Amino acid sequence: LQTRMQSLQPDPKAQYRTVYEALKKIVLTEGFWRPLRGINVTMLGAGPAHAMYFACYEKMKKSLSDTIQHGGNSHLANGIAGSVATLLHDAVMNPAEVVKQRMQMFNSPYKSVLACIRTVQKTEGFGAFYRSYTTQLTMNVPFQAIHFITYEFMQEQINPRREYNPRSHIVSGAIAGAVAAAATTPLDVCKTLLNTQENMALSSVNISGHLSGMMNAFKTVYQLGGISGYFRGVQARVIYQMPSTAIAWSVYEFFKYFLTKHKVEKRT
């Protein structure tokens, strides 16, 4: 839904005003499973990407917090750790995101994930999978910095003793995801344009060939939609991120608690 709603020059048959209208129209005209198209490639990359992501975050957070605040909870350390962890995460997830978004576009010519990978590789080269990588990082570094700082701040407010508390992790994760998603929507719209290379949108502003670079994407988005163009799909993005970050944090905190408890019991 987010990919479709961020389309800057959508086909007349793929114009939506609200998230509900988009979901209803896609299901009725293109089938029940259409909104989930390309999700298998995302799931494939999500495991190793998140493993590296949280491992790097936890290690850096502890090291930096000890340096900056001598064992205390430093918001600066949380932000830096989250930003660095993003470099590893996005190296795995960027190609998966390119394939997913291309498959989710209206009238997508790709029949399957493998067909999409082969066609993009053959027609645009390997670089196409990383064309939006710098934009992805430019978006995700502030996103993850805001996300981790907000999560740790919320934990300080509703779970000051930092115990394992599923409800506090879900609420903190959801709020952190919503705040970070809303703040970085303009960058996400640019990333979608770079990933999908919408022909109708690019030709309408006399761009031939492939659009590359964040600055070019920013200019093109403004030419096509003005200031409001930067906030296309903000509602869908926030709705998507809230459960996503809530689930990610609750699962992570559970395994962190489970493994730490098991380690302590083993020692005693």
| pLDDT in the model for residue 253 | 93
Domain extents for the chain?
A: 1-39, 236-267
Is-contact 132 196, C-beta < 8 A?
no
Question: Packing angle between helix 214-229 and helix 185-196, nearest 10 degrees?
Answer: 120
Q: What is the pTM of this model?
A: 0.65
Output the pLDDT for position 151: 96
Runs of H (alpha helix) within 105-213: 113-124, 133-158, 166-183, 185-196, 199-204
Write out residues in the chain with pLDDT < 50, as ranges.
Answer: none
- DSSP designation for 15: -
Write out the two tokens for 57: 């975050």
Q: Provide the sign of the torsion angle of the four alpha carbons 132, 147, 43, 256, taken in this order.
A: positive
Instruction: Give the end-to-end CA distance of the chain in Å, rounded to a whole number.
Output: 51
Interacting residues of 121 by C-beta distance below 8 A, sequence separation 6+ = 128, 129
